[in-house]
Structure 1
Amino acid sequence: MKQINRYTWLGLSSILIWASLVAVVKLITESISPILALALIYSFSALCILGLNGFPKISQMPKRYLWGCGSFFVCYEILFLSSVAYSHNHEQVLIIGMINYLWPPLTVIFAIFAQQLSYQWTVILGFILAILGLMIVVNPDILAVSKFWTVLQQNPIAYSFALIGAVLWSCFSVFTKKYAQGHNATPFFFAVTAIALWGIHFISAEPFTLPSLGMWGAIVMTGSLIGIAYSHWNQSLQFGDMKLLILATYFMPILSSVMSILILDATPQLAFWIGTILVTLGAIICWKSTAARH
């Protein structure tokens, strides 16, 4: 029992790290060139997770999982983190974080289409609530459609990246279940992500800004914690209380919002919290309305 509790706590710590990721990445990318910051962070993430897990035996893995799911993983990480890096202010970071957390209900919907889950009609209600919550976060005056588009047009690239990323991560989750066959190529995916970010940095001719000593510390710590979180998450799903861990992931919109507000010193309106709760509630309803097919 103690061993199970230990792995469950490791899984919960991973969720806490991921909830803090959005705000921490934003602070780092404000100090040095955005893509350079992401490349440095993920270089240390890759080194950390490779050190903890070793390099996977990719020759033994199903090709659809390795290259198909791997593409979803790499593109998601790049698009989501780039959307955070290119946000214009801390209020936009909160909106981007909420767009990202559409992935739980999207994953449920995609899993239903992939015939991995059986469902009840209430899953539709949950998905609608999640979308409604996001719309309230973007525009509290939800009936004013013109204001909704005005907000989105303030940074269409960042918001589009975040939405595409949420869809890609949902696809990664569904297809990994279908094609992974028990394999775990996460260390390899991280290495490819880091290499891709360095490639984007050099191709875009982005200036190389040498980080300060304190910023180096933040980069190393953030990158290492990301690697540790992914490593611990895989262990916790195998040996921890999976039901508790999966339930905890559905509260990540609220937890991430709290962490972002504390770290970025943002002051959202009441409507933001209403929308955040609706996104969370919608995701939970989607989860409760489904069951795995046997």
Structure 2
Amino acid sequence: MSKNLYTSIGLSAILMWSTLVGLIRLISERIDPVTSVTLLYSLSTLILLILFKIPKLNKIPKQYLLLATLLFVSYELCFSFSITLANNSQQAIEVGVLNHLWPSLTILLMVVFKEIKFHALLILGLSSAFFGIIYIQTNGLNISFHQVMRNLIDNPLPYILALAAAFIWAFYCLLLKKMSNGENIIAFLFLMTSITLWIKSLFFSGFNFPPLDLTTWSYLIVAALFLGLGYAAWNIGMVYGNMNVLISSSYFIPVISAFFSALLFGISLKTSFWLGTFLVVFGSILCWISTSIHSFSLLKSQKRTGRRTLKLK
């Protein structure tokens, strides 16, 4: 298959991921957070095992397998619980936006690890993205410092988990591109996540299987499909497709996700929310432009070198 086709497969993950905040929140409103997350990942694991099976682990570098498993499981736990532990649907949407800082953080890590060169636009982009988050959380800066602190004290865990998830996923994306060697271990990663959740449920949370109606099962199956297939598509796109196109396109997930969640919950999102989301997207795009400038300069330099070589010949 061509690189463009692999990139298109990766892009399909963005549409599937954009539905997850709303779907996971709907499920957690019907059953408790731990049970909802455990069942969701168990169904996703079953779907991925049917489609991909577990790869031959002896052929995969042990360092990559260990790091990828640790990062992936940690991310999934942080992301899913940040949504299910939110106090209400509005907070769940806000937490989803906070998690979507990961594209900017991915680019920042690429600079730190010298995958790309630093550009001043990067600082501007990161500042815009973080300010967008602050703008959303403070309802357009129309809030006192004491109220901000009270909100954080009241229920800080979802925000902490969402921010941690953003950093973890940025590290995972960098690791996937550098160390995977084309190996798709997504089914194994989901299996490890499910095992971790079942251990937590059975031994630490007192798991009791709740009675589920047809509507809840429908939400679980759809969310499991989008969750599992989304990650499978993303891994394929990141390994074989165009990483820059995928990351730049993922900057629009907050807008699609917020719009879908608002329709699902019947929430009228305020102007401050959309403006804050725009700042997050705008900041992330600036980060991508900063990397594109370097790539374009490098391409021009290579073309000039090629012309000089031809003239010498």
| TM-score w.r.t. length of structure 1 | 0.91
Kindly provide the CA deviation profile for residues 159-180 of structure 1, in whole angstroms up to 9, marking residues without a partner as x. 1111111111111122233322
Name the structure 2 match of 1:198. Answer: 198
SS at match of 1:119: coil
Matched, 1:257 2:258: yes
* Alignment-mate amino acid for residue 188 of structure 1: F
Do the aligned partners of residues 171 and 142 (structure 1) sit closer, same or farther apart at CA in structure 2, a change above 3 Å counting? farther
SS at match of 2:19: helix
Name the structure 1 match of 2:303. Answer: none
* Alignment-mate amino acid for residue 185 of structure 2: A
Contact 2:103 2:247 (C-alpha < 8 Å) held by counterparts: no
Name the structure 1 match of 2:154. Answer: 154
Q: CA deviation at 1:13?
A: 2.9
Contact 2:248 2:284 (C-alpha < 8 Å) held by counterparts: no
Runs of 5+ unmatched residues, structure 1: none
Q: CA deviation at 1:272?
A: 0.7
Alignment of 1:1-294 (within 5 A): 9-139=8-138, 140-141=140-141, 144-202=144-202, 203-237=204-238, 244-290=245-291, 291=294
Runs of 5+ unmatched residues, structure 2: 300-313
* Alignment-mate amino acid for residue 71 of structure 1: L
Question: 211-220 or 32-41, which moves further after superposition?
Answer: 211-220
Tell me the percent identity: 33
SS at match of 2:117: strand
Aligned mates of 2:255, 2:55 — CA distance in 1: 34
* Alignment-mate amino acid for residue 233 of structure 1: W
Q: CA deviation at 1:220?
A: 1.8
Aligned mates of 2:112, 2:240 — CA distance in 1: 29
SS at match of 2:212: coil
Aligned mates of 2:54, 2:187 — CA distance in 1: 6
Contact 2:177 2:239 (C-alpha < 8 Å) held by counterparts: no
Contact 2:103 2:248 (C-alpha < 8 Å) held by counterparts: no
Q: CA RMSD in A?
A: 2.4
SS at match of 2:86: coil
* Alignment-mate amino acid for residue 125 of structure 1: L
SS at match of 2:51: helix
* Alignment-mate amino acid for residue 281 of structure 1: F
SS at match of 1:55: coil
Aligned mates of 1:143, 1:44 — CA distance in 2: 42
Q: CA deviation at 1:7?
A: 5.3
* Alignment-mate amino acid for residue 133 of structure 1: G
Q: Which has the larger radius of gyration?
A: 2
Aligned residues: 293
Aligned mates of 2:9, 2:181 — CA distance in 1: 24
* Alignment-mate amino acid for residue 115 of structure 1: K
| TM-score w.r.t. length of structure 2 | 0.86
Contact 2:184 2:236 (C-alpha < 8 Å) held by counterparts: no
Do the aligned partners of residues 171 and 10 (structure 1) sit closer, same or farther apart at CA in structure 2, a change above 3 Å counting? closer
* Alignment-mate amino acid for residue 24 of structure 1: L
Do the aligned partners of residues 21 and 53 (structure 1) sit closer, same or farther apart at CA in structure 2, a change above 3 Å counting? same
Aligned mates of 1:111, 1:240 — CA distance in 2: 17
Aligned mates of 2:209, 2:62 — CA distance in 1: 36
Contact 2:182 2:239 (C-alpha < 8 Å) held by counterparts: no
Question: 266-275 or 180-189, which moves further after superposition?
Answer: 180-189
Q: CA deviation at 1:107?
A: 1.1
Question: 58-67 or 230-239, which moves further after superposition?
Answer: 230-239
Aligned mates of 2:272, 2:200 — CA distance in 1: 37
